Amino acid sequence: MTEKYVPPPEAVERGLYVAYAALSTMAVLPIYFGSFASLKKWKNPNAKKKKTEDSDDSDDEDEATESMSLEDAYMFPVFGSITLFGLYLVFRYLDKTYVNYLLTAYFGLLGVMATTQVGVNCIAPVVKLVGIDVDKWHLRLTKKKKELYSVKFTILHLIMMVASVLLSGYYVVTKNWIASNVFGICFALNAIQLLSLDSFKTGMILLSGLFVYDIFWVFGTEVMVSVAKNFDAPVKVIFPRLFFGLPVGEPYQFAMLGLGDIVIPGVFVALCLRFDQHLTGIKNPNLGRSTRFSKPYFTACFIAYAIGLGTTIYVMHTFKAAQPALLYLSPACILSVLVMGLARGEIKEVFAYTSEEDEKKEDEKKVSKKIVTQVEDDDETKAESIAEKTSSPSGSDHESASTPKLRKRKGGKAQKKK
């Protein structure tokens, strides 16, 4: 019977430092690049839109994003708690082997889509820089005149999809930790790019709610730690505690960081970058897609996140116990924006800022209300005209049907004379 390998303490200590550095790198890189990927072409809000015939197929078109509102921020910790506790019960009362089979298949499919998109985003600029012309297709599924589905793709999408399917198959069969990290990083990049907060108020409420959520489920119960250990899917980034010097055949012991501790602060950091773009764009309407603008809020929040993550790792290493990362990350991100806003005298602008997408929605609501009001007024006018025609004598064509109030006044005067 072979004895279990016990690494020397010095090797374990060095291995942990390597693991912490790797986890930190895998956390900050998706936030940095995802934030820049979330930027849209700056458009002067005061400029009139010019619609061209080929605008539908333009390369300058931005990705559609999903905006999180204030109501979503309030409910997010509630739904998160329900989901987390539900998973805890599933793993406790059902065979986790079969549960993880289903989760593996599901996340393998999601991983194909995520890695395809990230791969295209990485390769497309290089192809464009080299000067290679890539064919584009636009597939539409319609029923009569109604468009049911629309998708645009290039040969790059097809190539990356094949590569993603192969990677997903490899992960499903082997559960390789490197493939799992690739999927996890791609999930984080896509989430930060495509999920946007509509305001700083929404972001601060979201971080505050998850601050309480993380503390309760980590310190108050065993639920979070139990689910994290049993949930065998790429919803976390992992790295071996002892990567160098481990004998061949010995199983790895992993250090991990949940994707929620990357994505949630990440969308807030991305909001800071868009706010920096907004401040510059007001003064420079021709900013376009340039990223050469002052980034005080992004820089402050990004550094604050790194400090908060470092604090989390330090406390975890010191006390040898799992830590709720948002306990340190949420205050760090919120305070960085508040301090920067106060220091620059822009605290009012910080809380007044609303993403352009939501401003467009508000404008659309206002326009729709005006249209509805106008239609109602037209209907009332038509109804009054019909009523006037039916109530007036056939020979009184000289009176206008559109002046019922004037007629009532005349009638009133006639009654007074009598």
Active-site option among 56, 135, 214, 232: 214
Cα 334 to chain centroid distance, Å, stands at 18
Contact status, residue 264 vs residue 309, Cβ threshold 8 Å: no
Can you read off the two tokens belonging to residue 47? 């400029």
Q: Torsion over CA of 305, 306, 308 and 313, rounded to 10 degrees?
A: 140
Our answer to whether residue 214 is catalytic in this structure is yes
Pairing of strands 195-197, 66-68: parallel
Residue 202: which of 80, 297, 79, 73 has the closest Cα?
A: 73
Cα 128 to chain centroid distance, Å, stands at 27
Helix axes 70-93, 200-215, angle to 10 degrees: 30
Active-site option among 135, 261, 377, 379: 261
Our answer to whether residue 261 is catalytic in this structure is yes
Distances (CA, A) of 400 to 103, 272, 384, 390, 392: 73, 60, 11, 13, 10
Q: Is 28 left (phi over 0), alpha (psi -120 to 50) or beta?
A: alpha
Distances (CA, A) of 234 to 92, 172, 184, 193: 20, 11, 5, 18
Q: What distance in Å separates the CA atoms of residue 114 and residue 349, rounded to the nearest whole number?
A: 35
Contact status, residue 189 vs residue 111, Cβ threshold 8 Å: no
Active site residues: 214, 261
